Structure formats: structure tokens, C-alpha cells
Amino acid sequence: MSINLSKLVRDHFNAVEKKDLEVVLGFYHPDINFIDPHYPKVNMKGKNEVIKGLTWSFKTVKSFSFSTINYFENEDGTNVSVEYDSTIKLFNGKSFQFRQVFIIEMKNDKISRLQAYETYGPHGMHKIMLLVTRIIHKIIRY
């Protein structure tokens, strides 16, 4: 593999922190499988679905912060697992801090799978709002 995978992963999450949709999308393979329980559609397949999810996220979240705890790469440099202390600040002033693990798979020097694992399930008002959002998105065939 010709790329520096740790730099790619760091640059990707830096672009997410900057909410730079065009740059973030540039890291993704056209057939990306993006899985994250924080989104109305948990399993987004292909860039068109990911664009919708990230656009929603970037409009909803005021700021993202990812501080690396652990980084693991497989021997051939095609897959990564990275653990972050994550901070999400919303426009309404609320802030959430939690740990996340991301599994990242590569194909042709692009991220082909990005899957987030959290140490919790949605709860409280967040769970209710996410449930309502998912129902709405299902009705409008998001």
C-alpha cells in the first residue's frame, strides 16, 4: 500500500472536525459503507447516502473533537481500529463526551468501510429525538 494510513485517518478526522464535507468525501471510496448509530440512517451505503448523513450531522452539530487514545493497524496496512475520546457540542449549548472506536477498511487507497462503536446506546431525550428522526426519515424514504 502506497499511503500513510495513520496520516490519512488523522487527516480524515481533522476534516470532520472542520466540517469540511468536500474534503471528508474525498477520503471515501464510491461504495463506502458508513455505519454509525448517531445518524438517522445507521447504515449508509455509497457516497449519496453518506452526503445526506454528513449534511444532517454538520447542520446539527456545532463542533466535533476527536482525541486519539489507541490506534491499531493491521500488518498489511489496509485496516485500522482507532479509539477516540469524542466531544460533540450542539448549537443549543449541550455537549456530549464519550468514547468511540472506529473500524476503518481501505480499498484502492480510499475508506471503504467506516463503522463507529460507542460504549453506550442512545438514551434519554437523545434516544427519543433520534427515534422520531428515524421514523420521519423512513416515511420520506431518506
Where do the domains of the chain lie, and which CATH numbers do they carry?
Answer: 5-139 (3.10.450.50)
Beta bridge partners of 111: 28, 106
- DSSP letter (8 states) at residue 92: T
Reduce the DSSP state of residue 56 to 3 states and report it: helix
Q: What is the pLDDT of residues 11-35, one digit of tens each?
A: 999 999 999 999 999 999 999 999 9
φ/ψ of residue 40, rounded to 5:
-60, -40
Q: What is the pLDDT of residues 69-79, one digit of tens each?
A: 999 999 988 99
Q: Does the pLDDT of residue 84 top 50, yes or no? A: yes
Reduce the DSSP state of residue 128 to 3 states and report it: helix
Confidence of residue 109 (pLDDT cuts 50, 70, 90): very high
The Cα-based distances of 141 to 32, 57, 66, 135 in angstroms read: 20, 18, 31, 10
The answer to whether the beta carbons of residues 122 and 40 sit under 8 Å apart is no
pTM reported for the whole predicted model: 0.82
